[in-house]
Structure 1
Amino acid sequence: MKPLVSVICLCYNHEKFVEKALLSVVNQTYSNVEIIVVDDCSTDKSSELIMRFLKTYQSIKFIQNEANVGNCISFNKALAIANGDFIVDFATDDILKKDKLELQVNAFEQLDNSYGVVFTNAEIINENGDYLMDWYDRGVAVSDGYVFEKILKKSYISASTMLVRREVFDFLGGYDERLAYEDFDFWVRSSQKFKYYYLSDKTIEKRIVSRSLSAKADTKIGYTIIASTLNVCAKAWWLLKNETEKQALKKRIYFEMRHALMIEAFDCVLSYYSLLKEMNDTDIKSRLIKTLAELKIPLYYFYKIYKGGQG
C-alpha cells in the first residue's frame, strides 16, 4: 500500500478558482489521497461551491470556520484530523499538476528519513490562468539538503509546491498560530532538523491574486506580515549554531528593516534594531535606519513610485 497523502485545501474568497483547484486534487494520478477542505468564513460564494462539490465527492472532509481566523489556525484545524503520512498545504486559488503527488511520493521513497520536505519548481499564472513564468525563472539559486542558512538569506522556496513528511509537523506542533503567515517560520524551524530535497518538475500552477496576503506585502496592509517576520527572525536568533548562520540572519534583518522603513512600520524597524543589538551586531547602516525610523520619515509614497517604476 502506498503511503497516504493528506491534502489540506485552504479557501478564503476563492469562488472564481475553488472548483478547478479541488478538481486538480481529486484527479491526481496518485490514488491514496485524503482531502480536507477548510473554508475560512469566506464572504463570497466559495462555501456554497464547496458544498456543491462535496455532493459529488462525498469522501472529502469539510471544515467551515464560523469566523475568519487566517491560514495558520485553519491549517492546524485540518492537521488535527489528518491521517496522512505526508501533508500538502494547498491554497484553492492554485492548481495541482495531475502527477504532483506521484512524483513527490516517489522521490520520498528514494530518500532516507533525514529528509522532511520535497519541493519543486512551479508555473506562475495570473488571475485569468495565463502563464507568466516559471518560479525559478527569476534567477534564484536553488539549494537543498540542510537549507537553514540559505533560507535565512532569501525565501527562495515556493511553499505551495512542498510535500511534507508528517513527522515534521509533529515536531513543530503545526503552524505558529500567532503569525499572519506560515512559510518562513516553517522553513526556519524545520530546516535545521530535516533536510529538503528539490525536484525540478513543475508540480503546481501558482496563481498571483491581487487580494492575496502575499500580494499586500508591499503595502501598509503588509504591517502584520512584517511583524510576523520579525517574530520569526527572533526565533532564528536562538537557533543559530555558527557565525555563518549569524551573518545570514543579519543580511535578512537588514532587508526586512529597510522594507519596514519604506512602508512606515517604524516600531518594527526599532524592534529589528533591538534584535541586532542583542546579537551584538549593529553598525553605521543599522543606526542610520533606526534614526530614520525614530524621526518617522514618510517614505511610503516614494517607495510606491519606485515599485511602480519597477513594474
Structure 2
Amino acid sequence: MHTYHLVPDLADLPVVSIVALCYNHARFLPAALDSILAQSYPNLEVLLVDNASTDGSLTILRSYAQANPTWQLLAQPHNLGLCAAFNLAYRQARGEFLIDFATDDVLLPQRVAQQVAAFQQLPSHYGMVYSDAELINEDSQHVRFHFRRTKQGLQPKPASGYVFADVLQRYFISTPTMMMRRATLDELGGYDETLYYEDFDFWVRAARNWAFYFLDQVTTQKRVHPQAMSRAAYRPGDPHLASTIATCRKALRLCEAPAEWAALAVRLRWEMRQAVRWGSNAEAALLYELLQQTKHQQPLDWLLGQWSRLRSRA
C-alpha cells in the first residue's frame, strides 16, 4: 500500500512577512539572507529595509533583491530608527503573521513552518509565538542557548498564556524568535516610534489583551557582538534607558490588579539599581518616582531614591 502525502496549496497557507532590518550588517548579511532562502515554509513575503547603512550593506541587499524578484527593497536615505523602520515595512506588508528579523541573526530552516504550525493549533487570542534561540558570536560559533537546561527546568522560566505580569517582572523572551500576529500589531498601531528599542514596549502593550505562547524549539541563531545596541543601556544619556522608563510609565497605567503592580515594582527596582550602578542618577530618580506609585517600595528603595535625587542635582 502506498501512502500519499498531500502538499497543501499555497493559497491555503497564511502569508508570513519577514521584515529584514539592516543597519551596517554587511559582514553578517549573506548568512542572514541565505537563511530566509533556506526556509522550508513556502508562502513568504520578504521586505528588506536598509536603514541608511554606511558599510556596503545596501549593495548586498540590492544583489539579493535582484536575484529574488518577489523581495521588496526599502532603502532609506536617512536612518529612521529601529521602530520607524519596522513600521515602514509592516504597513506595506500583507502577511497574517510577521517576523522582525535583524540581519545579523540567522533563521533556522524550520523556523517559520514550526511557528505557523503552532499558531494554527492556538486560539485566535494568541498574539505572539516565541521560542528558544542559540546565541552565536561574530564568527558564528556557539556561545550558549537562551534558555538554560537545569534540573528545575528551563531558566529563565518561559511563560505561556496571559503573561502581562510576567513581562513586567522579568526578562524571559528571546526577542529575535518572535512571530507576531498581524491583528495584534494592528491593534497596537505597530511599534511606538518615539522609543529607541521595541521589544519591552511590545511585550507590555500586547500582553495586556493578547496571550503569548512558548514553543520549545531552537528556531533562531542570535548574534552576540560588541555593536549590539543594548550593551551601553544604563550609561548616562543612553536612549535605551529613556525608552525603558517610558515603557514603565505605560505599564503603570495598564496595571489593573495588585499582583501586576507588585510585578512592575520588581522591574522598577531592578532598573533603578542598574541606573544607580552606572551613574545614571537622574534616570534612577525617575524610576524611584514610578516605584513609589506602585505602593511596593522597600526601605533600601527609599535610600537609593534619595541618593539618586541628591546626585542628580549635584
TM-score by length of 2: 0.91
Correspondence for 1:102: 113
CA deviation map 1:272-310 (0-9, x unaligned): 12223333444422221122213329xxxxxxxxxxxxx
- Corresponding position: 1:70 with 2:81: yes
SS in 2 for 1:238: helix
Correspondence for 1:5: 16
CA deviation map 1:87-132 (0-9, x unaligned): 0000000000001000010111111101111110110000110001
Contact 2:248 2:268 in 1 (8 A): yes
Give 1:190's match in structure 2, choosing from 188, 199, 206.
206
- Corresponding position: 1:47 with 2:58: yes
Give 1:275's match in structure 2, choosing from 284, 290, 295.
290
Correspondence for 2:254: 239
Contact 1:7 1:88 in 2 (8 A): yes
- Corresponding position: 1:146 with 2:157: no
Whole-angstrom CA distance in 2 between matches of 1:198 and 1:273 = 32
Whole-angstrom CA distance in 1 between matches of 2:100 and 2:271 = 26
- Corresponding position: 1:29 with 2:44: no
Contact 1:94 1:205 in 2 (8 A): yes
CA deviation map 1:65-98 (0-9, x unaligned): 1111211010000011000000000000000000
The one-letter code sitting in structure 2 at the alignment partner of 1:148 is F
Correspondence for 1:251: 266
Give 1:288's match in structure 2, choosing from 303, 307, 310.
303
The one-letter code sitting in structure 2 at the alignment partner of 1:127 is E
Correspondence for 2:233: 217
Whole-angstrom CA distance in 2 between matches of 1:70 and 1:127 = 23
Correspondence for 2:218: 202
Among the aligned pairs, what percent are the same residue? 36
Superposition pairs for residues 135-174 of structure 1, below 5 Å?
135-137=146-148, 139-174=155-190
Contact 2:136 2:143 in 1 (8 A): yes
Gaps of 5+ in 1: 298-311
Whole-angstrom CA distance in 2 between matches of 1:155 and 1:86 = 23
Identify which range, 31-40 or 139-148, moves more after superposition.
139-148
Identify which range, 178-187 or 20-29, moves more after superposition.
20-29
SS in 2 for 1:155: coil
Give the root-mean-square deviation of aligned CA atoms.
1.4
- Corresponding position: 1:122 with 2:143: no
TM-score by length of 1: 0.92
Contact 2:262 2:294 in 1 (8 A): no
Whole-angstrom CA distance in 1 between matches of 2:236 and 2:141 = 28
Contact 2:265 2:297 in 1 (8 A): no
Whole-angstrom CA distance in 2 between matches of 1:275 and 1:100 = 39
Correspondence for 1:304: none
Whole-angstrom CA distance in 2 between matches of 1:10 and 1:211 = 15
The one-letter code sitting in structure 2 at the alignment partner of 1:197 is Y
Contact 1:181 1:228 in 2 (8 A): yes
Cα deviation for residue 219 of structure 1 reads 4.3
Whole-angstrom CA distance in 2 between matches of 1:266 and 1:69 = 29
Whole-angstrom CA distance in 1 between matches of 2:295 and 2:120 = 44
Whole-angstrom CA distance in 2 between matches of 1:218 and 1:248 = 21
Contact 1:116 1:165 in 2 (8 A): yes
SS in 1 for 2:213: strand
Cα deviation for residue 23 of structure 1 reads 1.1
Gaps of 5+ in 2: 1-11, 150-154
The one-letter code sitting in structure 2 at the alignment partner of 1:156 is F
Whole-angstrom CA distance in 2 between matches of 1:266 and 1:216 = 15
The one-letter code sitting in structure 1 at the alignment partner of 2:72 is K
Whole-angstrom CA distance in 2 between matches of 1:228 and 1:292 = 23
SS in 1 for 2:301: helix
Give 1:176's match in structure 2, choosing from 188, 192, 204.
192
After the TM superposition, which parts of structure 1 deviate over 3 Å for at least 4 consecutive aligned residues? 218-221, 277-283
The one-letter code sitting in structure 1 at the alignment partner of 2:96 is D
